[in-house]
Amino acid sequence: MAFLDIHHLEKSFGAQRVVRDFNLGIEKGEFVSFLGPSGCGKTTVLRMVAGFETPSSGEIRIDGRDVTGIAANRRKIGMVFQAYALFPNLTVAQNIGFGLRIAGEGKAGIRARVAEMLELIGLPQLGGRYPFQLSGGQQQRVALARAIAVRPQVLLLDEPLSALDAKIRVSLRDEIRRIQRDLGITTIFVTHDQEEALSMSDRIVVMHQGVADQVGTPFEIYNRPATRFVAEFVGTLNLLDADLMEAASGRVRLGDVSVALNRVLPGRNGDRISLALRPETLALGRREGSDIILSGHVAEMNFLGSVIRIRVSIAGQFVSLDTFNQPDCPPPAVGTPVEVSLSGRDLLVM
Ligand code: ADP
Ligand code: MG
C-alpha cells in the first residue's frame, strides 16, 4: 500500500459530478503534480485530502490510516494556497510559528523551529517583518515555511506560484523542489501550467473533467500520451490529417506523399485519420535517419532567442518545428521553400 492512498474518490456538488472514480497511490517522499485546466477538479481533490471537503464516496488513507472521516486539523497536513494567506497582523516569525503555538509547543521550541524554517527558505533576517513588507515570492516562501513548520506528513500546494512574476516563478520551482527533497516530504502540487508540472514532478496526474486521464512520469506523459486530451494539453502538438490507405501495414497518404508507418493502425482503409507529432521530432531540411521527407514553404518564423520556431505549410496543412539559433546562419524567411524530415516512429496516431 502506498503512503498516501486514494481509492474510488468521488465528489458531487448537487447534480454536478466534479470528481469521478479518482484512484492514486503516492509513495513516501514523492512529489506528484495534478495538472489540468481550470475547473477540472484539482482543488476539490486536494481539499478532500486535506479534510476541508467531504467526499461523496471513496476513501483516503495516509500511512495506513483511514483519514476519510477525520477532521482537517487532525490529519497532519500542511497546505499552501495560490493567494498569500498569511496573517497580515502577525510578523513573519509569528506566522511561521502559528501552527506550533496552536499545538501547544513551548516558546523556546517555537523560536528554534522558526529560526530553522527561516534558514530553510533563505530569509533568516526577515522574521520581524510584516507580510506587507515582503515581495510576493517572499510571502509564498513564508507560507511554505508555515505549512511545514508543524512537520506534516503530507504537503499540499494549490497553485502556489500562479500569482507570481514569471522569473520568480521559475526560481521558486527549484527552491520548492530543493526544500521538498531535503525534508523528504510527500507532496501534491496542483498546477494548470504544463511546464511547471513537467519540470518539477516525480509523477504527474493529468486531470480532465474530474477524471485522472493519465498518471506517469513527465517523460512518459509527454512522449506517450494516453489520450488525445493529454497529448494536446501537455506540450505543443502538431496535428496532421492523413488518409488511411492500408490499416494492416500502416500505409497513409500525407498530402501527396505516401508513407509506411510499419504498424497496424486503427480504422478502415479510406478513413481520414489524425497524426500528431512534437515540434522537436521534426527537422528542417534532410536529416539522416529520417524516413519521411515532406516539401513545403515557411509560413511563419518566430525568433525567440535561443530557439527559432518555424511554421511550415505542407499541402495546405501546417506544422511547427523548433531549431536552435546559430549566430552565423540566419533562419529562412517567410515564403522560402523548405523540406521537413521526420520519422514514422515519432508519429502518434490520435
Ligand atoms: P480546479 O481546481 O481544477 O480549477 P475545482 O476543483 O476548483 O477545479 O472545481 C471543479 C468544479 O467544481 C468546478 O466546476 C467548480 O465550479 C465546482 N465547485 C468547486 N467547489 C464547489 C462548491 N463548493 N460548490 C459548488 N461547486 C463547486
Ligand atoms: Mg483550483
SS (H, E, C) 1-35: CCCEEEEEEEEEECCEEEEEEEEEEECCCCEEEEE
Angle at 47 between CA 46 and CA 53, to 5 degrees: 145
Q: Closest Cα partner for 37 from 254, 229, 269, 227?
A: 229
Counting ligands in written order, which one lies closest to the CA of residue 81?
2
Q: Going by CA atoms, what residue is nearest to atom 20 of ligand 1? A: 44
Which residue type, as a one-letter code, is found at position 22? Answer: F
Q: Are 248 and 264 in contact (CB under 8 A)?
A: yes
What's residue 254's pLDDT?
A: 83
For 219-285, give the DSSP string: HHHHHS-SSHHHHHHSS--EEEEEEEEETTTTEEEETTEEEE--S--SS-TT-EEEEEE-GGG-EES
8 Å CB contact between 77 and 152: yes
Nearest residue by C-alpha to atom 16 in ligand 1: 39
Distance CA 231, CA 348 (A): 9
Quote the pLDDT of residue 235: 86
Atom from ligand 1 closest to the CA of residue 14 = 25
What is residue 237's predicted lDDT score, i.e. its pLDDT?
A: 87
Residue 316 confidence (pLDDT): 86
- As a whole number, the mean pLDDT across the chain is 93
Distance between alpha carbon 46 and the CA centroid of its chain, in Å?
A: 15
Domain definitions of the chain by residue range: 4-233, 238-349
Supply the pLDDT for residue 350. Answer: 74
End-to-end, the C-alpha distance of the chain in Å comes to 34
Pocket of ligand 1 (CB under 6 A): 13, 18, 36, 38-44
Q: What is the mean pLDDT of each run of 10 residues along the chain (350 residues)?
A: 96 96 97 97 97 96 94 92 89 96 94 96 96 94 96 96 91 95 96 96 97 96 90 89 90 84 85 89 91 92 93 92 92 95 85
> Residue 60 in 3-state DSSP?
strand
Q: How far apart are CA 339 and CA 294, in angstroms?
A: 6
Q: Which fold has domain 238-349?
A: OB fold (Dihydrolipoamide Acetyltransferase, E2P) (2.40.50)
- 146-159 CB burial, b ≥16 within 10 A, e <16: bbbbbebbbbbbbb
Domain 4-233 shares a fold with domain 238-349: no
User: Hey, which bits of the chain come out as E strands?
Assistant: 4-13, 16-26, 31-35, 57-62, 65-66, 77-80, 154-158, 186-191, 203-208, 211-216, 238-246, 251-254, 257-260, 272-277, 283-284, 292-303, 307-314, 317-324, 337-342, 348-349
Ligand 1: centre distance to CA 208 (Å): 13
Q: How far is the CA of 39 from the centre of ligand 1 (A)?
A: 6
Backbone phi, then psi, for 341, in 5-degree steps?
-105, 140
Percent with pLDDT over 90 in the chain: 77
The CA angle 327-330-331, to the nearest 5 degrees, is: 125
Let me know the angle formed at the C-alpha of 305 by 304 and 306, rounded to the nearest 5 degrees.
110
Q: Per residue in 336-350, pLDDT tens?
A: 999 999 988 888 887
Task: Give 16-62 pLDDT, tens digit per residue.
Answer: 999 999 999 999 999 999 999 999 999 999 999 999 999 999 999 99
Q: How far is the CA of 39 from the centre of ligand 2 (A)?
A: 7
Give me the residue label for grid cell 516563478: 169
pLDDT at 218: 97
Phi and psi angles of residue 280, each rounded to the nearest 5 degrees, phi first: -75, -5
Angle between the N-to-C axes of helices 92-102 and 107-120, in degrees from 0 to 180, rounded to the nearest 10: 130
Rounded distance, CA 308 to CA 341, Å? 17
Ligand 2 mean position to 223 CA, how many Å?
26
Whose atoms come closest to the Cα of 38: which ligand? Answer: 1
- Residue 310's closest CA among 285, 346, 347, 286? 285
> What is the rounded distance in angstroms from the CA atom of residue 175 to the CA atom of residue 204?
19
Residue 154 Cα to ligand 1 midpoint, Å, equals: 22
Looking at ligand 1, which atom is closest to the CA of residue 40? 3
| Cα–ligand 1 centroid distance for 41 (angstroms) | 6
Determine which residue's CA is closest to atom 25 belonging to ligand 1.
13
For the domain spanning 4-233, the CATH number is 3.40.50.300
Strands (E), 29-141: 31-35, 57-62, 65-66, 77-80
- With the most atoms of ligand 1 within 8 angstroms of its CB, the residue from 11, 40, 44 to mutate is 44
How many CA within 13 A on the CB side of residue 325?
8
Ligand 1 atom 12: the closest Cα is on which residue?
18
Strands, sheet with 16-26, edge to edge from the N-terminal-most edge strand: 16-26, 4-13, 57-62, 65-66
Give me the sign of the Cα torsion angle 257, 278, 347, 225.
Answer: negative
